[in-house]
Every structure is written in structure tokens, then in C-alpha cells.
Amino acid sequence: MVPANQGSRGALVTWTVVTTILFVTATIFAIYFYVAADNTAREARTTAEKFKKVVSEAALTSNEVAALEQTRNDETMQAAGFNSSMSLLDVALKQRDDLATRLSGSIDFGKAIQSSDRVLKDAAAKATAAELVNLPSGNANAAVGALADALVSKSSEIANLRTELASAQGAAKEAANQMTIAREAMDKQLAEVRASAAEAMDAASTDRSSKNEQVSQIQTDFQAQLESAQQATQSAQVQIADLQRDNEQLKTQIQQLTGRLVDLRTNVSDPIVRQADGTIIRLASADTVYINLGQGDQISAGMTFQVFDKVEGVPAAGDSADETNLPRGKASIEVVRVGPTSSQARIIRLQPGQTLTEGDLLVNLVYDRNTRYNFLVFGNFDLDRNNVPTAGDAEVIKRLVTQWGATLTDKVNVDTDFVVLGSEPQIPVFTREELSDPLNQAIYDRSRADAEAYDEVRRLAQEYNVPILNQNRFLYFVGFYELSKR
């Protein structure tokens, strides 16, 4: 075996020792730096957590932080206590304290906010109660601005009022001057009037004696005239009594003559009303008949007749106020062609269950071949049966009367043969308040006058024993009931 080189072995040992020392030293330094770095990181985390409690990382670049830096570095703000050595937090705190001091005089910001809110609310309530202005809530600048504007407006109003007051005071002063001048003129006029009154009283006193004499003479003359008038009045009363006695005698004579005339009147209720005007002489077809009236009997086309049974005859007029037992005949006919001695007529109504025969009686209350009757047609009529009586329908009735040969009169007297009454006027019922309306009062007065006139016509007809027919009885007795509804 070859022995090793002693020099190489020593170098190896030396290298191993040096390497070991370096490794140990590096390990020690690594441990040291690791511990230092861990402490530094822990301190950094602690510092970061404290920092985040004060301000967020995003806020460091905000406009508010920039404004704080500008305030700290602004030389013009040094007079207010700011300097470049202050932290931004100190700058913000100083601004807060300054704001609190300005708001409430205390650096306690919470109390300052509460105080400012209370002041704003009180100011808003007072401004609203005074009708001054509606202050915005929660904004001191806006509230102060609104108050300032309101103050300026009120100051302007006060200035205007002062100007108006000065003008009014000037006008009042001028009016007082004018009043003083007027009072002086009035005093002067009053003195003149008093002087004139004194003169008038003197003149009146002078004339009183002469007037008394004139009054005495007038009284004497009046007494003489009064005695003469009394004598004339007594004479006139005697003459009036004689005239009243003569008037009563004349009334008695008139009543007696009227009674005689009434007694002498022809009884139209039966002989005339129930008197037939003609008869049916031939039945031509189911709707055509011939009658024994022609040109010589003064009839014309369009005239209507009511047909009654030849055995039963014509019924009486009946009660005008009663709608039962109306004189409905067997049929109603209308003349369509007039011949020399007879005429053709059409049947316009045939009573159910009835048949016409030769010899049946014809009646038209208005028509008479030998005389002209006098009719009074009064009131409004309802020919179309719509419950609305009109004066126009009354004209239709009057036209039928004159067309068929009778005469119209305007009042009931001993010469009146028939009275045809329309619907009885109805007086409307109004309350006292409704009658205060002139239109309602006029309607009430007119209705009442119509009702009184209606009652008077009926009373006179009954007094003179004149037959009274209502609308339907008249229409049946002339055979026009069916045609009237068209």
C-alpha cells in the first residue's frame, strides 16, 4: 500500500474545518435574520391593522386626503394654526374642532352637531310660524342662505313700507291741512247761516200774526164747507139707498125671468141627444153601408156617425164626470161619397159580437138637418190619450163643431145647447220656498185661474140645465172616437 500524501491530508482537514465553521456561521446568521424578519413582519401586520382602523388604503388617494395635504402645506393657512409638520389626522381633527367651535362654541363635535340640529329645527319652526320661509333641514349652509335671502326680501319690504308710510303721513298731513281749511270755511258758512236764520226767525215772528188770522179764516170756511158736504152726503146716502132698493128689485125680476126662460128651454137631454139623425138603408159589404142622408140633408164627405141598434134606441147623455156606460154604439161610420138622396159610408169601428142591420139608427150630436145648435167648448183635450191635454186638441173639437153645422159660443147662457168640457185643470202643489220662485208662482196662479174658470163654466151649465159632455162622450156621440186617435 502506498502511503498518503501528508500535505493533501492537511489541506482536506483544513478545508473541512473552514467549511464547517462557515456553515455554522451561515446557519446562525440565517436564524438571526429569520427571527428579525418574522418580528418585522409581525410589527408590519400590527401597524397595518392599526392603520386600517384610522383610514382605508383606498382613501389614501381620495380627494379628501389631497385636500388635507393642501391645507397642511398652504402657507395662507398657517395663521389658522396649520403647518407642514402636522399629520393629516391632526389637520382633520383641527378642522373638526374649528367647525364645532363655530357651530356651538365648544370643541365637542357631537354636542356641536346636536346643537346645530336643534338650532336648525328651531329656526325652521320660527321661520314657518312667521310665514317667512321654509328652511331646508340638515343643511346649515342652505338654511343660512335661505334666511339671508328672506332677510333681504323682508328688508326690501320694510323699506317699501317705510316709503309708503312716509307717503301716507304726507297725505295725512295734507288732508289735515285741507280739513283745517274746510273747517274754517264751514265755520264762516255756519255764521252766515245763523245770521240768515236769525233774520228768518224775525220775519217769521212778524208774519205769524197775519198767518194766524189767515188760518182762522180758513178754519171758518172749512167748517162751512164741511157742513155743506155732510148735507150733500146725507142726500147722496138717501139716493144710494133708493138705488140699492131698485137694484134688488131688478135682480129679483131678472132671476124670475131667468127661471121662466130655463123652464121654457127645450129639453135637449132626451129629445135632441136621443134623436136619430138617419138610418142605415142597405148593407153593401162587410165594411160598406148606405144611409138615407144625401146632398139635400147638408152632409159632406168625412162626416162621422155613431150607429145604435134600431130596437134599443139611442142612450141618454149620462154623467159627464163618469167614464162608465159610455154611449158606445154598435159601430162608427164615416161618409165617403154623398149622393142626391143617400150616401155611401165605410165602417171604421164595429163592436165585437155586433152586426149591423138595415134600420139601425145614426147619431151625430152636432149635426141636425133642421137647426144649428150652440156649443161651448171649454178647456184642454187629450185626443191622442197620452195624458197631456193641449189647447191644440181643443181646436180640433171646435173645428168639428163648426164643420158639421153647429155654432160656437164663448159663454154659457140660456141660448147654449151643449157644453163640451175638456180635462179638469190640475193645480200644482208647491212648497213655500218653491213659490218664492216667480216662475213657479206664475204657474200656480195660472193653474188656479184655469181651475176657477172651469168650475164656473160647469156651475153655469148646471144652473141653466145645459147638458155637459166630456171628451169621450162627445166623441162617441159624433162617431169620431176612433178617428180622433189617429
pLDDT digits (tens, 9 = 90+) for 184-203: 888 888 888 888 878 877 77
Rounded to whole angstroms, the Cα distance separating 457 from 452 reads 9
Reduced to 3 states, what is the DSSP secondary structure of residue 107?
A: coil
Phi and psi at residue 153, to the nearest 5°: -60, -45
Which tops the pLDDT comparison, 17 or 219?
Answer: 17
Which tops the pLDDT comparison, 26 or 84?
Answer: 26
Q: Which tens digits make up the pLDDT trace of 252-262?
A: 665 566 555 54
Q: Does position 277 have pLDDT exceeding 80, yes or no?
A: yes
Q: How confident is the model at residue 103 (pLDDT cuts 50, 70, 90)?
A: low
Q: Does position 418 have pLDDT exceeding 80, yes or no?
A: yes
Q: Which residues contact 109 (CB under 8 A, 6 or more apart)?
A: 96, 97, 99, 100
- Between the alpha carbon of residue 120 and those of residues 98, 147, 244, 429, the distances in Å are 19, 11, 103, 69
Mean pLDDT value of segment 132-147: 69
Q: Does position 354 have pLDDT exceeding 60, yes or no?
A: yes
| Grid cell locating 110 | 357631537
Which tops the pLDDT comparison, 476 or 110?
Answer: 476
Determine contact, residues 336/344, Cβ cutoff 8 Å: yes
Reduced to 3 states, what is the DSSP secondary structure of residue 95?
A: helix
pLDDT given for residue 262 in this prediction:
45
pLDDT given for residue 8 in this prediction:
79
Determine contact, residues 357/280, Cβ cutoff 8 Å: yes
Which of 45-49, 148-152, 480-484 is most confident? Answer: 480-484
Q: Which residues contact 135 (CB under 8 A, 6 or more apart)?
A: 120, 123, 124, 127, 128, 142, 143, 146, 147
pLDDT given for residue 281 in this prediction:
96
Q: Which tens digits make up the pLDDT trace of 289-301?
A: 999 999 999 899 9
Q: Does position 309 have pLDDT exceeding 80, yes or no?
A: yes
For 30, the enclosing helix (H) or strand (E) is: helix 6-54
- For the ranges 310-324, 346-360, 450-464, 468-482, the lowest mean pLDDT is seen at 310-324
The distance from CA 158 to its chain's CA centroid, rounded to whole angstroms, is 46
322 CB neighbour count, 10 Å cutoff: 10
Q: Which tens digits make up the pLDDT trace of 232-250?
A: 778 878 888 888 888 777 7
pLDDT given for residue 49 in this prediction:
79
Q: How confident is the model at residue 61 (pLDDT cuts 50, 70, 90)?
A: confident
- Between the alpha carbon of residue 65 and those of residues 18, 91, 98, 213, 401, the distances in Å are 58, 10, 18, 123, 118
